[in-house]
Amino acid sequence: MAKKKAKIQENPMENEAVATPQPITETLEKNYMPYAMSVIVSRAIPEIDGFKPSHRKLLYTMYKMGLINGGRTKSANIVGQTMRLNPHGDASIYETMVRLTRGHEALLHPFVDSKGSFGKHYSRDMAYAASRYTEAKLDSFCHELFSGIDKDAVDFIPNYDNTMQEPTLLPTTFPNILVSPNLGIAVGMACSICSFNLAEICDGTIALLKNPKTTIDRMLDIVKAPDFSTGAEIIYDREQMRKIYETGVGSFKMRAKWEYVKKEHCIDVLSIPYSSSIEAIMKKTTEMIKSGKLREVNDVRDAIDLNGFKLTFDLKKDADPEVAMKKLFTVTELENNFDCNFNILVNGTPKQLGIREILTEWIGFRVGCVTRELNFELGKKDEKLHLLEGLALILLDIDKAIRIIRNTEKEEDVVPNLAAGFNLTKTQAEYIAEIKLRNLNRQYIINRVQEIETLRAEIAEIKETLKDELKLKAKIIATLQEVKKKYGKPRLTDIVEKTDAPAVREDIFFENYNCRLILTRGGYFKKLSVQSVRAADEQKLKEGDFVIYREDTDNRGDVLFFTDKAQIYRAKVDDFPLSKASQMGDYVPSKLGMDDDEHVVGCKMVYELDPSHHFVYIFENGKGVRVNLSAYEAKSRRKKITGAFSSESPLAGVIYEGAKPANIFIRTDAGRGMLIKSSLIPVKATRTAAGIQIMKLPKKGVKVDLATDMIDDIGQDALKCKKLAIPSTGSPLGQLTFNF
């Protein structure tokens, strides 16, 4: 698209030239999109070889420096040399190298053999030393990265100033993309690739090479789960892992490994999840100890030494280590999730792939590398064979060759004369002409010529391999088996079945005791201790207010508050402090952050929502409905449920119906009441159903103003209002006495 020039126009107000604003679409197209693609392709997302450009440039520089076989050199020297390929500053290059080192412990199979302080992956504060103090070389494992790189296995491109060549990819002999973990944030996309066990990945790749239709279930049996350098445990959910293997997206839960040291009465954490840090764990633990929610622990200390990682929790005298660890798992990074997002670059195009698709792409890449290596070797052997075949021709008459050279007057005529004398090509004649005089003897020539048959056999074998895909794959399989045998290690991350690691309940943090819960019509909530209940003091209430809910329970459950806006709010009983009869209690709308004009109509304490139980809603228009608690099931424990019941008419009261039908007393503001069994009210499938008419209202303006199951507060006279069928007009209350 032709580049538009900014138009300059006269501004009459300021009498100066002003540029016409560039349209946002043009800005995005010309400026932002190239930047975004550069970040995706050249910075943040790894290619099929498992490396980002910064990793590849560093490792190739070290390879060219001879550090794969030689001794270590100062890191500063490596950083300086790498800047010939990666001109982004020495600090970023050194940080890249730090992550690849053995000392940093971020990789299952480190690429850099390091000496000195390189920090630790599991610590944010343990800083690495400056590059002038540390030393490094390539680990012997890197032989598997550069195998075939000098045999035209991959393409090379000029560096940024066109002074040297660098590889576009490294010809890795194993699927490094799934062995080395990779995290990256690009523009509009990100990648989060976990590491897998090298031996398992080799076996999985071999299975796919032998049978391209290998199923995900079979792959799950071979490549069991991710494996991390920090160890820890994976809480294994096969269906969850299947999703990750199929789509490349998902998450799994990890937990730290720990042991109880009985002699010292402490807990030693021996490894933590890969995405956790020791500082975050210690900070949260300290906060919990200070707040009194972690009463089992006295102190936490960093016990890392030369033997490796250790985080110690000193327990109080009678503390239960199991309870302490359950609490720590719940609130600290000793347990967390690893989120997977397998975005990789394939031929320069970002793709989100599952495990099988990634391995399939790698197999295609590796077949290409091996094919190029074989073609390179074939060319070299053909060239050598051609030269030796020429040498064989002069074996027939060595004296003639010497005579031709001796009798040639000009140097430039030696090669043409030899070629003409023995019917040689120019290349063969050049080779023979360069042979030293001392080697122009029968023994030397016979020894060299004997290689011809070997070369012909090797060339035939290479050509046969190039023609046969199965033989190509067999060659790759043999290499993978060798890599597995040489570098394979046992798993560091243990697999724990989900059933063996049950979820931790939040109520483990709460101090449990018996209490009485009270809610008033005005929205005041009290939690009374047993001592306050026994004192039998009169409850302090606002003038005209009265109790609409009372229940003796304990401190472990949740309280559900029902409002006149058809919403349910959830809070922990433990969220409310102990109160006294002489106190008003907490004003629920303020405590739970309700809307300004929202009021509480009822509440109920629950431990879990039993799907066989019901909520019974009675509305001001005389209608009622029973809703099964299964209608409120959700994956998360939401603090607020909107549209929890019908909003067609204001709510007069809500009653919890357990295993047995509840007795419900309903009253109108016109002085009539009725007592019914909740079983008379039909159950509706949807929670927002308006229900059926329960109480007939005699005239417009009359409404139900109370619905409760607190029959004891009404007294025996309530039985006079008992009804066996609905709808009903109810009975006149007259002189009926009750405490509302």
Q: Give tens-digit pLDDT for 667-701.
A: 888 888 889 999 999 998 888 898 999 999 888 88
Which helix (H) or strand (E) segment holds residue 92: the answer is helix 90-100
**Residue 612 identity:** S
Q: What is the pLDDT of residue 167?
A: 96
Question: Is the Cβ–Cβ distance between 331 and 284 less than 8 Å?
Answer: yes
In a domain, 24, yes or no: no
Q: What is the pLDDT of residue 398?
A: 83
Distance CA 154, CA 141 (A): 19
List the structure tokens of 131: 């590059």
pLDDT tens readout for residues 220-238: 999 999 999 999 999 999 9
In a domain, 403, yes or no: yes
pTM recorded for the entire structure: 0.74
Distance CA 394, CA 399 (A): 9
CATH code: domain of residue 152: 3.90.199.10
CATH code: domain of residue 328: 3.30.1360.40
pLDDT tens readout for residues 154-179: 999 999 999 999 999 999 999 999 99
Q: What is the pLDDT of residue 119?
A: 93
List the structure tokens of 97: 């190298």
Query: Across residues 354-374, what is the average pLDDT?
Result: 96
φ/ψ of 459, rounded to 5, equals: -65, -45
Domain count, the chain: 4
Q: Among residues 316, 333, 350, which one ends one of the domains? A: 333
In a domain, 31, yes or no: no
In a domain, 140, yes or no: yes
HEC-encoded secondary structure of 618-681: EECCCEEEEEEHHHHCCCCCCCEECCCCCCCCCEEEEEEECCCCCEEEEEECCCEEEEEEHHHC
In a domain, 404, yes or no: yes
Annotated catalytic residue: which of 32, 35, 133, 513?
133
Please determine, for residue 380, whether its predicted confidence score (pLDDT) is greater than 90: yes
In a domain, 240, yes or no: no
Q: Among residues 117, 146, 172, which one ends one of the domains? A: 172
Q: What is the pLDDT of residue 513?
A: 82
pLDDT tens readout for residues 123-140: 988 889 999 999 999 999
Please determine, for residue 372, whether its predicted confidence score (pLDDT) is greater than 70: yes
Do 436 and 524 reside in the same domain of the chain?
no
Question: How would you label 477-509 residue by residue, b for 16+ Cβ within 10 Å and e otherwise?
Answer: bebbeebbeebbeebbbeebebeebeebeebeb
CA distances from 454 to 320, 461, 639 (A): 74, 11, 79
Q: What is the pLDDT of residue 577?
A: 87
pLDDT tens readout for residues 87-124: 888 999 999 999 999 999 999 999 999 999 999 999 98
Do 659 and 704 reside in the same domain of the chain?
yes
Do 429 and 535 reside in the same domain of the chain?
no
| C-alpha closest to that of 572 among 515, 615, 534 | 515
In a domain, 242, yes or no: no
Tokens 């449920």 belong to 641
pLDDT band at 75 (very low <50, low <70, confident <90, very high): very high
Do 63 and 129 reside in the same domain of the chain?
yes
Do 584 and 637 reside in the same domain of the chain?
yes
pLDDT tens readout for residues 696-720: 988 888 899 888 888 777 766 667 7
pLDDT band at 1 (very low <50, low <70, confident <90, very high): very low
Do 470 and 517 reside in the same domain of the chain?
no
| C-alpha closest to that of 719 among 662, 674, 657, 661 | 674
To the query of whether residue 133 is one of the catalytic residues in this protein, the response is: yes
CATH code: domain of residue 385: 1.10.268.10
pLDDT band at 580 (very low <50, low <70, confident <90, very high): confident
What does the CA dihedral 390, 396, 398, 404 come to, rounded to 10 degrees? Answer: -70
- Ranking 223-232, 384-393, 478-487 by mean pLDDT, the lowest is 384-393
Do 287 and 401 reside in the same domain of the chain?
no
CA distances from 66 to 69, 73, 143 (A): 6, 10, 12
Do 375 and 441 reside in the same domain of the chain?
yes
What are the DSSP calls for 179-198, one per residue? HS-EEEE-SS-EEEE--B-H
Question: Is the Cβ–Cβ distance between 311 and 272 less than 8 Å?
Answer: yes
Do 412 and 308 reside in the same domain of the chain?
no
- Ranking 3-7, 59-63, 157-161, 633-637 by mean pLDDT, the lowest is 3-7
Do 328 and 370 reside in the same domain of the chain?
no
Which helix (H) or strand (E) segment holds residue 113: the answer is strand 112-115
Range of the domain at 267: 257-333
Do 598 and 530 reside in the same domain of the chain?
yes
pLDDT tens readout for residues 252-306: 999 999 999 999 999 999 999 999 999 999 999 999 898 888 888 999 999 998 8
Please determine, for residue 536, whether its predicted confidence score (pLDDT) is greater than 80: no
Please determine, for residue 42, whether its predicted confidence score (pLDDT) is greater than 70: no
Do 567 and 692 reside in the same domain of the chain?
yes
- Ranking 53-62, 332-341, 531-540, 575-584 by mean pLDDT, the lowest is 531-540
Higher-confidence position of 16 and 458:
458
Question: Is the Cβ–Cβ distance between 659 and 611 less than 8 Å?
Answer: no
In a domain, 286, yes or no: yes
List the structure tokens of 254: 């990890």
Q: Among residues 118, 143, 172, which one ends one of the domains? A: 172
